[in-house]
Amino acid sequence: MTTYTANPELDLVLERTVDVAPELVWRAWTTPELIKQWFAPKPWSTTACEIDLQPGGRFDTTMRSPEGEEYPSSGCILVAEEGRTLVFTSALGAGFRPQVSEDGFPFTAVVRIEPDGDGTKYTAIAIHADASAKKSHQEMGFHEGWGAALDQLVEVMKAH
């Protein structure tokens, strides 16, 4: 899985090098108290997060809109290779239970963390069932949203 190659027809990819060490990026992605500080692009916020860091464990977050409405979403961790690769999916919930996606299409996220000098080569891949789900996710602002969240992650972990 660490060698996963994105399929350009079906996947969306955000790849950037950031000047935060790989272990801090890993910690930011796997610690609920940290997730709450960076996961939702402002002015949205993340009001709750539960992570059970093992295959089959939950990856649940609740985002709050600027208007104060809350959007819980739940997912399931598939791969947790410490410091390197986190994979989770919204197609399953805790205990690998299938679940219907609230936002209309399920996706699997691969977060790959590689050392790059003192920083990290960061690759986030969103894997979809078909080209129409990819297109919907792209139009919802995948690159802008995940990019802004990564900026927040960097800011939080530098202050950490």
> Phi, psi (5° rounding) for residue 44?
-70, 160
The least distance separating a second copy from the CB of residue 4, rounded to whole angstroms, comes to: 6
**Binding of a second copy by 124 (CB under 8 A):** no
The least distance separating a second copy from the CB of residue 64, rounded to whole angstroms, comes to: 26
User: Contacts with a second copy in 62-121 (CB under 8 A)?
Assistant: 78-79, 87, 89-92, 95-100, 105-108, 110
The least distance separating a second copy from the CB of residue 25, rounded to whole angstroms, comes to: 21
Binds a second copy (CB under 8 A): choice among 23, 27, 47, 56: 56
**Binding of a second copy by 58 (CB under 8 A):** no
**Binding of a second copy by 129 (CB under 8 A):** yes
Nearer CB in complex with a second copy: 15/155: 15
Nearer CB in complex with a second copy: 22/106: 106
Coil/strand/helix, residue 144: helix
**Binding of a second copy by 128 (CB under 8 A):** yes
- Let me know: does 155 contact 42? Beta carbons within 8 Å: no
- Let me know: does 85 contact 79? Beta carbons within 8 Å: yes
- DSSP assignment of 72-139: EEEEEEEEEETTTEEEEESSB-GGG-B---TTS--EEEEEEEEEETTEEEEEEEEEESSHHHHHHHHH
**Binding of a second copy by 8 (CB under 8 A):** no
Amino acid at 110: V
Residue carrying the six token digits 């999916």 = 89
Which among 23, 12, 30 is positioned nearest to 88, based on CA atoms? 30
The contact set with a second copy (CB under 8 A) reads 1, 4, 10, 54-56, 78-79, 87, 89-92, 95-100, 105-108, 110, 127-129, 133
